[in-house]
Amino acid sequence: MADSTKYSDRSIPKISLHDFESRIDEITAELVAAAESDGFFAVTNHGISVDEVEQQFAAAEQFFSLPDDIKSTVPFTHKNTGWEKAAQIRPSTGKADQKESYQMQYGSNMDGKWLSEETIPGFKKQSLEFMHKCQGVSAKLMTCFARGLGFDDEYFIRAHNVERSNVQTVLRMLHYFAMDPMVPVPEGYYRAGAHADWDFLTLLFQRPGQSGLEICPGREAFTEFGLGDTWTKVEPVAGEIVCNIGDLLMSWSDDRFKSTFHRVKTPADPATDYFGPRYSMAYFNQPNTDCEIQGPLKKYPMVTGQQFNEAAMKRNYAALEAKKASMAVGTAQPVAVA
């Protein structure tokens, strides 16, 4: 497949969370600057060890190596939990991403969505423990973003309370299929088509060597669906969590913080691109359904967590319908995530 992608060398800010309590104002300033200009940054010294991340990746590999007929007993549904394979169609491409993913939550949306202990021993406990660690890092970042916007320190933490059953936060494990570099990539093959996340803040874990993530600058309002065409590669580095602002925080900051388009590039050139399997994990911080969302400048009308997500899904669906109409293709249904 011809590759005419344009690249720019933007650097992704790296922000260390060491000595968090005593450095909170310095960290807040760094996070706010990164959120205003890039929307993407990597955090280090966040308190989750490389081994702990690798343990969850091992659990993900174990899950995905199960036969499809077992994974399909916990199918993805509109509750934003469960397993899907080559079923998520992005409005940017009009095609299904060539991957499988499994989404877990803390609350009642997971009823019937865990595989049994006999099928995958220890998996549920391992995954929930890892999710709580991600929540701990998220809480630190939420404290800083609340400070940066002039809210009280606990403001965003209260709105993303994972102890309440109406929390919508998700850990998504992803597996992109290995490709044969000797076989030309079929037209319309995408690993993950370009998109912005609609959550508050995403924590993305990548495995060193399994590259492909790219980001695209430029978006003025969270309601826009524009895409630029200049990309920047975000290489996986052990110990780093790549974080991106989602549409929810963009809206909640009156568009001050940027939710940035990103994708997982389809390998095209055997000399430079990675064709092997890619595993990644995304922790999507999602609000409690009843929390009230409005920025300090009140740029957008107040909505609840539930209304915000419903509107995001509707926007996604409308963009997909528009794409399908422009491609004059069939009847694909979107899978709603993040």
Binding residues vs ligand AKG (CB under 6 A) = 172, 174, 192, 197, 204, 213, 262, 264, 280, 282, 338
| The entry of Fe ion, ligand AKG, none that residue 89 binds, CB within 5 to 8 Å by partner kind | none
C-alpha to C-alpha distance for 175 and 278, rounded to whole angstroms = 6
| The entry of ligand AKG, Fe ion, none that residue 192 binds, CB within 5 to 8 Å by partner kind | ligand AKG
Binding segment (CB under 5 A) for Fe ion, from list 138-146, 190-198, 217-225, 302-310: 190-198
Binding segment (CB under 5 A) for Fe ion, from list 24-32, 52-60, 155-163, 192-200: 192-200
Minimum Å gap between C-beta 101 and ligand AKG is 7
Longest Cα–Cα distance of the chain, Å, equals 57
Residue nearest to Fe ion (CB): 197
C-alpha to C-alpha distance for 54 and 74, rounded to whole angstroms = 24
Structure token pair of residue 326: 């422009």
Closer by beta carbon to ligand AKG, 211 or else 289:
211
Measured from the Cβ of residue 64, the count of other Cβ atoms closer than 10 Å reads 21
Q: Where are the alpha helices (DSSP H) in the chain?
A: 20-37, 50-64, 68-71, 123-149, 155-159, 247-252, 305-327
| The entry of Fe ion, ligand AKG, none that residue 243 binds, CB within 5 to 8 Å by partner kind | none
Minimum Å gap between C-beta 159 and ligand AKG is 21
Distance set, CA 48 to CA 67, 135, 211, 241, 264 (Å)? 31, 11, 21, 9, 24
> SS3 string of 258-282?
CCCEEEECCCCCCCCCCCCCEEEEE
Binding segment (CB under 5 A) for Fe ion, from list 147-155, 195-203, 233-241, 293-301: 195-203
The answer to whether the beta carbons of residues 178 and 277 sit under 8 Å apart is yes
| The entry of Fe ion, ligand AKG, none that residue 215 binds, CB within 5 to 8 Å by partner kind | none
Structure token pair of residue 157: 């933490």
Minimum Å gap between C-beta 12 and ligand AKG is 13
Minimum Å gap between C-beta 263 and ligand AKG is 7
Minimum Å gap between C-beta 197 and Fe ion is 4
Closest CA to 264 of 189, 185, 208: 189
Minimum Å gap between C-beta 315 and ligand AKG is 15
The answer to whether the beta carbons of residues 212 and 278 sit under 8 Å apart is yes
| The entry of Fe ion, ligand AKG, none that residue 199 binds, CB within 5 to 8 Å by partner kind | none
| The entry of ligand AKG, Fe ion, none that residue 175 binds, CB within 5 to 8 Å by partner kind | none
| The entry of ligand AKG, Fe ion, none that residue 280 binds, CB within 5 to 8 Å by partner kind | ligand AKG
**Position among 30, 38, 197, 255 found at the interface with Fe ion (CB under 5 A):** 197
Closer by beta carbon to ligand AKG, 15 or else 243:
243
The answer to whether the beta carbons of residues 31 and 148 sit under 8 Å apart is yes
Measured from the Cβ of residue 248, the count of other Cβ atoms closer than 10 Å reads 28
Q: Which residues contact Fe ion by CB under 5 A?
A: 197
